[in-house]
């Protein structure tokens, strides 16, 4: 089975690695436009913030004698009739099955003078790939001020990251509040207060309309209000658009993304599949890595199963709608129903505390004894507890107020640490790794978080679950220390 994969990002590389291991007769060619080994794109904002090193975010690269990876080589044409892909270096690649994993591109808003024929004006950037991050890092030594356009999750991460680097940051957002898809006005105002404490000015309800250049690089931007903001750097975080150009040219049906059915095949061609950010499955694309990794796993599973290529596979994993801003000094987490949500016919109870003086906002939404939504600003411990209740669908107290007030010892709902989780509870949401799998890996000899990641892939996505993995390792080490005294008491897990 000749498989050509287009795109060597987080999902394409994962698919290729699993396919070559699981499908004995598969011969893979992977075409990757970027000139590097695959890396953890999710951590690029941490690279900009100085919390991760650019050379420290590499992902496992597929290596096998049945896999041919071409780095720095783009696919330029798909001939579906002859089943041949033409690459930018002139090589031709025949396929029995073609997997599109071309990801998405940063959206460039309509701004006067944002680009010249050579590309974006110097000092203007997006943050989509490693080259973008390296460009921003290279500009930092001479930059004192930055404007970040867009206050979605990525915009907030970039703004706080640049502020942590010592730049005076202005965050410009088109809507009337930050993260308007997730936050209501009250939560947004409290988050704005936290940003102000980090030295970040926020300007809402307007956009950047013009880039003003001096000596060939950005020196200021003009806003829709007519105001000018001096700056050395403009980073545009205005959303992403699935990369569909190649698929469209090949006549594959596309809407926002490349249309695929539940089997991840194009409705127009059963030999062409799409996974990751470029795909538009029936349930819609989330733009989150967990969905792409789940699709990669389902495709491999289906092809490894009977080789029939029907990809009947499993149903898509339920999409988690937990959104967490990875920023220092700003804690924002939302899950399920948050912001301005539609109550519809449901019986919902929403309870909130809003405490601007200390920068804390917590809202919980409960329906039929379950937590169906929450918004947390400035309260990490509560966010962690609520996330556990939400993702594991645990029953909540009859009075939802108990969920948001820190429990008086012995009175409120007990906090459940990872030690109290069941074996089939998911610890790593990006990779769908359960506590049981992590404990098995530890029992089998994994002694460090890196060992556990290699064995189970836990923590290789956003990294949110690293503290829980560490906690499980420590619990195991403690129980090992005690084992001599407990000799004969059974398995030390």
Ligand X SMILES: Cc1cc2nc3c(=O)[nH]c(=O)nc-3n(C[C@H](O)[C@H](O)[C@H](O)COP(=O)(O)OP(=O)(O)OC[C@H]3O[C@@H](n4cnc5c(N)ncnc54)[C@H](O)[C@@H]3O)c2cc1C
Q: How far is the CB of 278 from ligand X (least distance, A)?
A: 6
Q: Label residue 51 exposed, middle or buried (CB < 10 Å: 0-12, 13-18, 19+).
A: middle
Q: Does 18 bind ligand X (CB under 6 A)?
A: no
Closer residue to ligand X in complex, CB, 279/386: 279
**Burial zone of 216 (CB within 10 Å; 0-12 exposed, 13-18 middle, 19+ buried):** exposed
Residue 246 sits in the site that holds ligand X (CB under 6 A)? yes
336 is an interface residue for ligand X by CB under 6 A: no
What is the C-alpha separation between 273 and 1, in angstroms, rounded?
A: 15
Closer of 14 and 476 to ligand X (Cβ): 14
**Smallest separation, CB 287 to ligand X (Å):** 6
Task: Show the site string, 382-421: x = touches ligand X by CB under 6 A, - = not.
Answer: ----------------------------------------
d(CA 33, CA 25): 26
Distance CA 341, CA 171 (A): 25
42 forms part of the interface with ligand X (CB under 6 A): yes
CB 245 within 8 A of CB 157: no
**62: contact with ligand X by CB under 6 A:** no
Report the nearest approach of ligand X to the CB of residue 459 (Å). 13
> What residues between 138 and 177 interact with ligand X by CB under 6 A?
154
- Position among 16, 26, 27, 33 found at the interface with ligand X (CB under 6 A): 33
| Closer residue to ligand X, CB minimum distance, 277 or 294 | 277
* Partners of 266 in beta bridges: 269
Nearest to 129 by CA among 191, 44, 221, 249: 44
Which residues, 6+ apart, have CB-to-CB distance to 336 below 8 Å?
Answer: 321, 365, 371, 372, 373, 374, 390
- The CB-of-159 to ligand X minimum distance in angstroms stands at 13
Secondary structure letter of residue 194 according to DSSP: H
What is the DSSP secondary-structure string of 326-364? --TT--EEEEES-SS---TT---EEEEEEEGGGTEEEEE
Q: How far apart are CA 276 and CA 32, in angstroms?
A: 14
Site string (291-320) toward ligand X, x via CB under 6 A: -x----------------------------
For residue 462, state whether it binds ligand X (rule: CB under 6 A).
yes
In whole angstroms, the minimum distance from the beta carbon of 19 to ligand X comes to 14
Among 114, 127, 139, 327, binds ligand X (CB under 6 A): 127
C-alpha–C-alpha distance, residues 83 and 21, integer Å: 24
User: If we measure between CA atoms, which residue out of 74, 72, 41 comes closest to residue 58?
Assistant: 41
The values of phi and psi at residue 332, to 5°, are -130, 120
| Interface region with ligand X, contact rule CB under 6 A, candidates 4-12, 191-199, 364-372, 478-486 | 4-12
Of residues 229 and 238, the one with the C-beta less far from ligand X:
238
The DSSP symbol for 105 reads E
Dihedral angle of Cα 255, 257, 258, 259, to the nearest 10 degrees: -60
* Other C-beta atoms lying within 10 Å of the C-beta of residue 250: 21
Comparison of 95 and 223: residue with beta carbon closer to ligand X:
95
Shortest distance in whole angstroms from residue 116 CB to ligand X: 23
Site for ligand X in 276-295 (CB under 6 A): 276-277, 287-290, 292
Residue 101 is a binding residue for ligand X (CB under 6 A): yes
Site string for ligand X, 421-460 (x = CB under 6 A): ----------------------------------------
Choice from 19, 20, 44, 272 touching ligand X (CB under 6 A): 44
What are the φ and ψ backbone dihedral angles of 13, each rounded to 5 degrees?
-70, -40
Instruction: By CB under 6 A, name the binding residues for ligand X.
Output: 6-12, 31-34, 41-42, 44-45, 74-75, 101-104, 127-128, 154, 243, 246, 276-277, 287-290, 292, 326, 462
């Amino acid at each position: 089975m000749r498989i050509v994969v287009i795109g060597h990002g987080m999902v394409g590389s994962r698919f290729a690695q699993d396919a070559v291991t699981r499908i004995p007769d598969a011969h893979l060619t992977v075409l990757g436009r970027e000139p590097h080994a695959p890396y953890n794109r999710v951590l690029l904002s941490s690279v900009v913030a100085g919390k991760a090193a650019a050379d420290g975010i590499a992902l496992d690269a597929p290596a096998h004698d049945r896999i041919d990876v071409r780095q720095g080589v783009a696919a330029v044409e798909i001939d579906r009739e002859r089943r041949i892909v033409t690459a930018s270096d002139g090589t031709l690649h025949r396929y029995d099955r073609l997997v599109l994993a071309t990801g998405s591109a940063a959206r460039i808003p309509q701004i006067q003078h944002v680009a010249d024929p050579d590309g974006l004006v110097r000092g203007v950037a997006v943050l989509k790939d490693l080259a973008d991050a390296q460009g921003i890092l290279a500009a930092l030594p001479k930059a004192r001020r930055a404007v970040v356009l867009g206050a979605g999750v990525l915009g907030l991460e970039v703004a706080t990251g640049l502020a942590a680097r010592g730049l005076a940051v202005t965050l410009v957002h088109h809507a009337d509040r930050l993260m308007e898809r997730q936050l209501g006005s009250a939560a947004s105002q409290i988050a704005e207060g936290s940003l102000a404490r980090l030295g970040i000015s926020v300007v809402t309800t307007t956009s950047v309309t013009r880039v003003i250049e001096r000596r060939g690089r950005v020196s200021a931007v003009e806003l829709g209000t007519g105001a000018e903001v001096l700056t050395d750097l403009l980073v545009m975080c205005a959303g992403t658009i699935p990369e569909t150009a190649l698929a469209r040219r090949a006549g594959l049906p596309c809407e926002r993304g490349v249309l695929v059915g539940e089997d991840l095949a194009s409705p127009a061609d059963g030999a062409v599949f799409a996974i990751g950010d470029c795909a538009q499955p029936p349930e819609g694309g989330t733009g989150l890595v967990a969905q792409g990794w789940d699709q990669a796993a389902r495709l491999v599973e289906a092809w490894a199963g009977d080789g029939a290529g029907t990809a009947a596979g499993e149903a898509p994993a339920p999409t988690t709608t937990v959104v967490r801003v990875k920023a220092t000094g700003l804690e924002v987490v939302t899950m399920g129903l948050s912001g301005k949500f539609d109550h519809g016919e449901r019986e919902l109870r929403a309870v909130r505390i809003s405490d601007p003086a200390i920068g804390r906002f917590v809202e919980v939404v409960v329906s039929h004894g379950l937590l169906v939504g929450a918004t947390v600003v400035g309260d990490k411990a509560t966010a962690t507890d609520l996330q556990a209740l939400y993702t594991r669908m645990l029953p909540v107290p009859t009075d939802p107020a108990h969920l948001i007030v820190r429990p008086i010892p012995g009175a409120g709902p007990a906090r459940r640490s990872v030690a109290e989780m069941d074996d089939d509870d998911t610890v790593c949401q990006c990779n769908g790794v359960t506590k049981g799998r992590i404990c098995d890996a530890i029992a089998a000899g994994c002694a460090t978080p890196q060992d556990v990641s290699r064995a189970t892939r836990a923590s290789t996505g956003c990294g949110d679950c690293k503290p829980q993995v560490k906690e499980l390792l420590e619990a195991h080490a403690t129980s090992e220390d005690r084992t001599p005294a407990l000799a004969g008491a059974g398995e030390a897990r």
